[in-house]
Structure 1
Amino acid sequence: MERKNIIIKEIRNGLILDNVHDFNAKHIFECGQCFRWRPEADGSYTGVAFGKVINVKSDEVNKRVQLINTNIQDFNEIWFDYFDLGRDYGEIKKKLSEDPVLKVAIQYGEGIRILKQEPWEMLISYIISANNRIPMIARSIGLLSEMYGQPIEYNGEIFYTFPTPEELSEAELCDIQKCKAGFRCKYIAQAINMVLDGTIDLDYIKNLDADSAREELLKVPGVGVKVADCIMLFSMEKYDTYPVDVWIKRVTEHFYLHEDVPMKSIHEFAREKFGGLAGFAQEYLFYYAREMKIGSGKGELQ
C-alpha cells in the first residue's frame, strides 16, 4: 500500500513505513512541542495521542519508520495527519535554508515535523507549561490523565488517555491541585468551565486566522501570547505563528536583531522574515538554540 509515496507494510501489531523523508523521532518528540512521549532503551518513543498508545522508531538512513500497536485504519485516520506526513519538509527546509542561520540550525533538527495535536490537550498542557520545566509539565499532565483519563494497556503497562472536558467536569479545584501544577491549577479549572459552557469554542478558534485565534485564546486565564501561539502552532495549523520562549528570544536577538528587544518586535521580525513558514523556522531555531545553548555565552554559529 502507498500513501503520498510512502510504502506501507503490515507487520505483527504494527506497520513499517518506507520512503519516509525528514522524520527523526528524537527531533520530533524532543523539540518542545509535546509532553507525552517517552524515550525507550532501543531508541524508540512510546506515547499517547488521540486515545491511542503507539511506539515509534525511526531509521533516517533507510528512510524507514516503524509504528507498533497500530494498524492501517488508525494510520489513515490518525497518524498520517498527526505526523504531518503529507507535507514536503524537504521543500520547507530548502526555502528556509536561503537564510544562513537557518541553514545551520536545520542541520541540528533536520528530522523535525510539527505534530497536529488535539487543541483541548494543547490548551491545558500549555497552561501547565507557563514558567515551568518540561519534566514538571510532563508529570502534571500524567497525573491529570491518571486521575481522569481512560486506562489503556500496552506491553504490560497501563497508560492513560488525556481527559476530555466532560471527564473533568466534576473536578473541583482541590482535585485538580493533585496534579501538582501549582498556581496553574486555578487556570486549568477555569479553562475546563469555559470550554464546557461554550465561552471558548476550540473548533471555531481553529478556523480563524492567527491574529483572531490568538485574541480568542487570550480570553482564557493563564493563556498569554506565547502559550496561545504554541496552542495555535501545535494543534491549529497556524504555521505563521512564532512562539517566543527564552530560547527563541535569545537566538532571534543573537543572530538577527543584535539587541534586547520587546516580544512584539520579535513577532514583527518573524512575520516579515519568515512569513507563512515562521512556525517551522521557530522549531528549527528552538532546537538549535537549546542544543548549542545560544545566548548562554557558549553557543555561536559554526
Structure 2
Amino acid sequence: MPFLSLPGFDLDATLDAGQTFAWERRADGSWQGFAGDQPCIVAARPGGVDVLHGPVDAVRRYFFHTGPEGERLLDALPPDPAVQRALAACRGLRLIQDPWWPCTASFICSSLKPIPHIRQLHWRLRRAWAAPGADFPDLPFPSPAQVASAGEQALRRLGLGFRARHLHAAASVLAEGRWDFSRLQGLPTEEAARQLRSLPGVGDKIAHCILLYAGGRLDAFPLDVWMIRIMQRHYRKPGRRLRRPADLHRFAARHLGPLRGLAQLYLFHHARMEKTRPDQDDKSGQGKAISPWSAPLLPPGNRPRSAVA
C-alpha cells in the first residue's frame, strides 16, 4: 500500500478538530472520507499515513495544501503564551481545505450541535442521495440542486430539525444561480464574510468557518460561544472589552495578527484536548468536562431514510 511521508502529522487531531465533517472513523481506527471530491481511506502510521484507498496526490494536497509553507506558517504564529501552549500540544494538527458547498452545508447544519452530531448529519446527507445499497466510496455530496429539489421536509426526516429550513433555502439560492462562491474571489476577508452572510443560515461565525476551512483565509476568525469563552479565559483583564464579537475580532486582528484563523484552530482544539470548561475551572484546577464537545455518537452504520425516496 502507498505510504505518504508526513513527519509529525497527527491524522486523528486533524480530522477530529471540528474543521471538516467529511471523514468518519472506521472500526479498525482508519478514516474514510473525501479529500476534495476524491474518496479515500487513510490510516495513521509513525512518520505519515498509509493510503489504503484513493489517489496519493489527492491525500497529500488535502492534508498539506499549504505545501512546505505549512511548518513555516506554524513558526510564524504569534509568540502569545496561550497560542504557543496550544501549538506545542497539537503540533501535528494541520489545516485542511474542503470544497465550498459541502463545507457550507455542514456548517449550516452545525448550529447548536456538537462535532460528532454534525458529522452524522453530513454523512446522512451523503447516504440519502446514494444509489440503493451503495455505501462508501460511492457517496458524493449532494449538489445544491439535489438538496433544493428534495424539499425542507425531506431534510427534516434526516434529523436536521430547524436547520433544514436554512439548508434548503441556501441550496435553492445556489441552485437558481442567485448567488455563487466565485463572487468571493479577490474580496477582503471581512467583505467576503459579509457576502456569505447573505446566504440563508449563514451568520458571522459560519461565514468565517467557510472562509477558513474552504477558502483558506488564514485571517478568518470563527467565533462561537466556546471560542468566545476561550478568548475570555486567556485574554480578559481589567479595561479590556472582550464580550462582543466585534470587540473580539478587533482584539484578534491586533493581538494574533494575519494568521489568527490558524491560531484559532489550535486554541480551540487544545481546549477540547484538555476537556476543561474554558470559562470555569474547578477547585482542583483541572476544570470540568465539556459535554457539548464530547456528546456520544449514535450507533455506527445507521442509514437514514432517503431524502429522495
TM-score, structure 1 normalization: 0.84
Aligned equivalent of 2:279: 295
Superposition deviation, residue 232 in structure 1: 0.6
Letter in 1 for 2:3: I
Q: Residues 30 and 118 of structure 1: is their aligned pair in 2 closer, same or farther, counting only changes over 3 Å? A: same
Aligned equivalent of 1:261: 243
Superposition deviation, residue 192 in structure 1: 0.8
Structure 1 residues 147-184: Cα deviation after superposition (integer angstroms, max 9, x where no partner): 22468967xx6652211123334212222222211111
Q: Distance in 1 between matches of 2:20 and 2:131?
A: 19
Q: Residues 128 and 79 of structure 1: is their aligned pair in 2 closer, same or farther, counting only changes over 3 Å? A: same
Secondary structure of the 1:168 match is helix
Q: In structure 2, which of residues 177, 202, 207 is the aligned counterpart of residue 228 of structure 1?
A: 207
Identify unmatched segments of 5+ residues in structure 1.
Answer: 1-10
Aligned equivalent of 2:293: none
Superposition deviation, residue 296 in structure 1: 3.3
1:65 matched to 2:49: yes
Aligned equivalent of 2:100: 119
Q: Distance in 1 between matches of 2:25 and 2:137?
A: 16
Aligned equivalent of 1:240: 219
- Greater relative contact order (CA < 8 Å, ≥ 6 in sequence): 2
Q: Residues 206 and 26 of structure 1: is their aligned pair in 2 closer, same or farther, counting only changes over 3 Å? A: farther
1:161 matched to 2:140: yes
Q: Distance in 2 between matches of 1:25 and 1:206?
A: 30
1:273 matched to 2:255: yes
Q: Residues 38 and 17 of structure 1: is their aligned pair in 2 closer, same or farther, counting only changes over 3 Å? A: same
Contact 2:252 2:260 in 1 (8 A): yes
Structure 1 residues 241-268: Cα deviation after superposition (integer angstroms, max 9, x where no partner): 1111222211211111237511111111
Q: Residues 218 and 149 of structure 1: is their aligned pair in 2 closer, same or farther, counting only changes over 3 Å? A: farther
Q: Residues 183 and 147 of structure 1: is their aligned pair in 2 closer, same or farther, counting only changes over 3 Å? A: same
Q: Distance in 1 between matches of 2:122 and 2:154?
A: 14
Identify unmatched segments of 5+ residues in structure 2.
Answer: 288-309
Q: In structure 1, which of residues 5, 18, 25 is the aligned counterpart of residue 11 of structure 2?
A: 25
Q: Distance in 1 between matches of 2:116 and 2:48?
A: 29
Q: Distance in 1 between matches of 2:38 and 2:150?
A: 23
Q: Residues 33 and 151 of structure 1: is their aligned pair in 2 closer, same or farther, counting only changes over 3 Å? A: farther
Aligned equivalent of 1:84: 64
Contact 1:53 1:152 in 2 (8 A): no
Q: Residues 300 and 207 of structure 1: is their aligned pair in 2 closer, same or farther, counting only changes over 3 Å? A: farther
Q: Distance in 1 between matches of 2:63 and 2:53?
A: 16
Aligned equivalent of 1:286: 268
Contact 2:42 2:53 in 1 (8 A): no
Q: Residues 16 and 150 of structure 1: is their aligned pair in 2 closer, same or farther, counting only changes over 3 Å? A: farther
Aligned equivalent of 1:103: 84
Q: Distance in 2 between matches of 1:144 and 1:70?
A: 22
Deviates more, 1:257-266 or 1:176-185: 257-266
Q: Distance in 2 between matches of 1:149 and 1:29?
A: 23
Superposition deviation, residue 226 in structure 1: 0.3
Aligned equivalent of 1:143: 124
* Aligned length in residues: 279
Secondary structure of the 1:57 match is strand
Q: Residues 33 and 145 of structure 1: is their aligned pair in 2 closer, same or farther, counting only changes over 3 Å? A: same
